[in-house]
Amino acid sequence: MLYVVGIGSGSKLHITKEAEEVLKNVDLIVCYKNYKKYVERFNKPIYTTGMTKEIDRVEYALKEAKYKDVALVSSGDPTIYGLASLAYEINSIKNYNVEIRVIPGITAASLASSVLGSPLNHDFVVISFSDLLTPLSTILKRFEYALKGDFVICIYNPLSKKRKEPFLKAIDILKDFVKDVNYIIGIVKNAGRDNEEYLITNFEEFYKNLEKYLEFIDMNTIIIIGNSSTKIINNKMVTPRGYLNKYKIL
């Protein structure tokens, strides 16, 4: 049996009871090498590979899962930019016939939202800026439609030392929308972890100090761009759900 398990931030605080129980009971844990530290406490054999070795990791997990209970661990939720789909795909292509079960986890969008206040509290999009597997034109097209729809926008994998182009091109697109709205922007690094940091600003201030923000943002950062109603309340980023437009407060 293969369990594809989400562990949230990696902190003991953000794991569910279900994920905890599964990890206590499997025979083998398979994960990305930098996440080994989050699962060592379960005292199981651990197989790890590095970045871009996802196929290798999933194949190993599936092969072992023919005879054992294996947990393929993702941070956050395994169905949100995690390895659940790849497990289903390879299982079918290679005819492994392994039974697969997904154990959901708290995704980084929720963790980042809780740190910033409540920016996701209306319709939103989640979009990854990594162009390793998605053409840049698709990323930018989606970003533009998200802005046209006045969605709150939550960006995963915004930029790395080597990959700044998608982010900078998106900022150019955003600039064209700013004549109407000075978007509130929330930036959370290492959400839910010991070294968590966050900033809340608006587009104007962000753009003026772009270099400074580019230094701060990395691959473990989530960026949330508000919709046209998002505001700052007591230093928190809040997107109203709309109750106060409809009902009076006495």
CA atoms of 45 and 39, how far apart (whole Å): 10
Residue 155: beta bridge partners?
127, 223
Q: Where does this chain touch a copy of itself (CB under 8 A) — which range of 34-42, 133-141, 179-187, 202-210? A: 133-141
In the region spanning residues 29 to 58, those forming contacts with a copy of itself, defined by CB under 8 A, are: 54-55
CA 203 from centroid of its chain's CA atoms? 22
Q: Does 249 contact a copy of itself by CB under 8 A?
A: yes
Q: Does 74 contact a copy of itself by CB under 8 A?
A: no
Pick from 26, 77, 170, 222 the residue near a copy of itself by CB under 8 A: 77
Pick from 161, 195, 211, 244 the residue near a copy of itself by CB under 8 A: 244
Q: Where does this chain touch a copy of itself (CB under 8 A) — which range of 11-19, 65-73, 157-165, 169-177? A: 11-19
- The residue written with tokens 């930036």 in the block is 187
What type of residue sits at position 238?
Answer: V
In the region spanning residues 143 to 182, those forming contacts with a copy of itself, defined by CB under 8 A, are: 145-146, 148-151
CA distance to 43, 78, 92, 96, 219, per residue, from 87 (Å): 24, 10, 9, 10, 23
Q: Give 147's DSSP letter.
A: H
Pick from 10, 14, 30, 222 the residue near a copy of itself by CB under 8 A: 14
